[in-house]
Structure 1
């Protein structure tokens, strides 16, 4: 149904809180080309005054033809009067995990383009077919219907700075191709999409002959509801001290049969451990058994100590593999995956505080048991002038901010409530809201 393509584009434009410039990520394939044309035609009706388009193509330089293909896309955009730029992946490419690395680099390069065009968001041509493949791959890894069954969100915040929106997430690829064919517009086919060396290509081939596709749009709504409940549980039962220790009320600590609480606690654990992902299934099962038992003791998982005491549960970073970070004057960087640290003056060296620093007294003053305060302070960051590192000199010429590893790079729209709650618990502001309303319903249809 080609009309579904235009309908999705119009519904998407109507969902904006205010008009703006939309940056279309276009590869030259049917999905992204169909998205560009559908938006261009919708805006040409003058119903959506104040909107405009720009476009960006990422040349991954993984095939000899890629540079010419990117240039051809640029020429196609020029013919429509749409400004276009090409982002180039320069330098050596990894020998393994190439698709994951390419995805991350693609978003890195796309995120640079909005500033050049004063764009308010990025849109991609992900389709219902892509969604089904994603759900199938995550189901195979999760071995069940966990949070991954929701698939890709209709909206995703990348790098805390730009929203990536997916207007076609409920549109079939076949409809997009029919839409383009009716207009006499061709597209490029990336051979990697058919290469059985890649997981997505294998899943795509399997789904092509399957009678039923996995997942449904309702899974996204269920994921959002789960995240909202998880956020409420965190606010009620968990406190964070100085970004270093998460304290859980004793009565809540062992309730690991509650899926929403378990996901909330494991996400907080990822933040405490400086990780982008919560612990794996086997680790969570082991931790759940320990916490449900109610026994006093400690268990370590994912670089985090789960310290169970009679008065509650305490999570803090374990004391091993703590890095050394050197920052030039005015520079910033990530330390241990837990803190973003910026030099406000001279060059700095960031290391673990160790014994006798200020963090221990601050944690005790916050009401933590002395043993917890001592262990947590040993893994706290210490900033010293680079020319006096190791001398014990203190400096205030640094700004620290907690990193929220699971969400600071990719924040799915249906996890916003939990992400905002965790950010506030760790002393951060809420994440920037998307430029559209009701992304779960408007864009999913």
Structure 2
């Protein structure tokens, strides 16, 4: 259905709240090349006045052919009159986890290219086929109440900086290829897409033998609704003190069989632990058993102490395996996954507090926390001195980091992410440039 490709491009452009400059991530494969061509064709209509395109190809430098392939995409973009940039992954590559590392580097380079080319957002050519594979893979390891069934979000905020949009998630790859063939345009085939060492390739092969024809999944809308319910529970039942301690009544905490409350509590705990992902299924089951009990006690899960006393549950980072961070003059670094520290002067060293940190502990006590909780929490706060330790406290800007969302924030989680940001004393995340599932819910 070649017309469906142009229709999807037009529908996507109509979803913008205002005309924008769009950076298309183009690898040279059929999906991204079809996306670039479809958007270029759609922008010929007068109703899209004020829009413009730019393109970027990330050369991961993992194959000898990658440089010439990137140049071929640059030539194709030039034929369309679209500014193009090649971003190359320089330096050594990891021996393991190469696909995850390549994904992280790709978004980092795309964000830099978007800034250089003056783009308001990035678009990628992910398709319904990719979505189907993603849902299958996440279903094998989902521990968060089945939310992996949502798959990829149509919008994703990268690094709190720029939105990445996926306008082709309801299109099949076969339709995009028919669209390209109808215009006499070829594409590149990445050999890694046939390498069975990668999980996605194995899942793709298994799904290819299925009689199931993929259709658009309602999972994104369902997850957005869950995000809204979780956000309401967070705002009503959880308090966070100094970005160090979460406080919730034991009675509410014990409602762990409510999937939205479980998701809310686990996500706050994950942020307190400086972890990017929620705990694994076995850890969640162990934690749930503890929370259903009414007895006082402590449990550690995902680097977080769950401390129950006198009808109140407190959560805070455990005082183990706290790192040392050294940053140069004017540089920025992340400490323990929980705080971003920017030097405002000389080189700095960031550690855990070597002493109880009386001022911070007193603030926690004044907020009504028990002495023991306040003492333990103050011991896992960042302690910052100049590199030569000549000052008790160095000149630095410290901001709490919400690890589950500060690098990759799926659009359907933004309501809950905003609630957590406010809880930790942070500004809300920036809104996407398009009307989406979340925008419709807010309206």
TM-score, normalised by the number of residues in structure 2:
0.96
Aligned counterpart, 2:199: 199
Aligned counterpart, 1:48: 48
Aligned counterpart, 1:165: 165
Equivalent residue runs for 1:306-385 within 5 Å: 306-357=306-357, 358-385=359-386
Aligned counterparts of 1:380 and 1:408: Cα–Cα separation in 2? 20
Q: Which moved more, 1:419-428 or 1:361-370?
A: 361-370
Query: Is the CA contact 2:344–2:397 (under 8 Å) kept in the aligned structure 1?
Result: yes
Q: Which moved more, 1:324-333 or 1:158-167?
A: 324-333
Deviation at 1:98, TM superposition (A): 1.1
* Distance change (3 Å), C-alpha of 1:424 and 1:213: farther
SS at match of 1:119: coil
Deviation at 1:211, TM superposition (A): 1.3
* Distance change (3 Å), C-alpha of 1:213 and 1:415: farther
Equivalent residue runs for 1:371-410 within 5 Å: 371-388=372-389, 393-395=391-393, 397-410=395-408
Aligned counterpart, 2:424: 426
SS at match of 1:75: helix
* Distance change (3 Å), C-alpha of 1:234 and 1:84: same
SS at match of 1:430: coil
Deviation at 1:356, TM superposition (A): 3.7
Aligned counterpart, 1:295: 295
Aligned counterparts of 2:288 and 2:144: Cα–Cα separation in 1? 18
Query: Is the CA contact 1:28–1:188 (under 8 Å) kept in the aligned structure 2?
Result: yes
Aligned counterparts of 1:143 and 1:379: Cα–Cα separation in 2? 27
Aligned counterpart, 2:282: 282
Query: Is the CA contact 2:250–2:294 (under 8 Å) kept in the aligned structure 1?
Result: no
Query: Is the CA contact 2:123–2:165 (under 8 Å) kept in the aligned structure 1?
Result: yes
TM-score, normalised by the number of residues in structure 1:
0.96
Aligned counterparts of 1:291 and 1:356: Cα–Cα separation in 2? 29
* Distance change (3 Å), C-alpha of 1:384 and 1:334: same
Query: Is the CA contact 2:170–2:216 (under 8 Å) kept in the aligned structure 1?
Result: no
Aligned counterpart, 1:415: 413
Aligned counterparts of 2:114 and 2:77: Cα–Cα separation in 1? 16
Query: Is the CA contact 2:57–2:70 (under 8 Å) kept in the aligned structure 1?
Result: yes
Q: Which moved more, 1:267-276 or 1:344-353?
A: 344-353
Equivalent residue runs for 1:100-139 within 5 Å: 100-139=100-139
Query: Is the CA contact 2:339–2:400 (under 8 Å) kept in the aligned structure 1?
Result: yes
Residue-by-residue CA offset, 1:175-218 (whole Å, 9 max, x unaligned): 00000110000001111111111111111111112112578521
* Distance change (3 Å), C-alpha of 1:144 and 1:365: closer
Query: Is the CA contact 1:239–1:425 (under 8 Å) kept in the aligned structure 2?
Result: yes
Aligned counterpart, 2:92: 92
Deviation at 1:53, TM superposition (A): 0.3
Query: Is the CA contact 2:143–2:281 (under 8 Å) kept in the aligned structure 1?
Result: no
* Distance change (3 Å), C-alpha of 1:214 and 1:47: closer
Deviation at 1:346, TM superposition (A): 2.3
Deviation at 1:27, TM superposition (A): 0.4
Q: Which moved more, 1:414-423 or 1:396-405?
A: 396-405
SS at match of 2:427: coil
SS at match of 1:387: coil
Aligned counterpart, 2:252: 252
Query: Is the CA contact 1:133–1:200 (under 8 Å) kept in the aligned structure 2?
Result: yes
SS at match of 1:434: coil
Q: Which moved more, 1:192-201 or 1:8-17?
A: 192-201
Query: Is the CA contact 1:149–1:215 (under 8 Å) kept in the aligned structure 2?
Result: no
Deviation at 1:396, TM superposition (A): 5.6
* Distance change (3 Å), C-alpha of 1:51 and 1:400: same
Query: Is the CA contact 1:26–1:124 (under 8 Å) kept in the aligned structure 2?
Result: yes
* Distance change (3 Å), C-alpha of 1:144 and 1:164: closer
Aligned counterparts of 1:236 and 1:298: Cα–Cα separation in 2? 24
SS at match of 1:5: helix
SS at match of 2:48: coil
Q: Paired residue for 1:438, among 394, 414, 436? A: 436
Deviation at 1:113, TM superposition (A): 0.6
Gaps of 5+ in 2: none
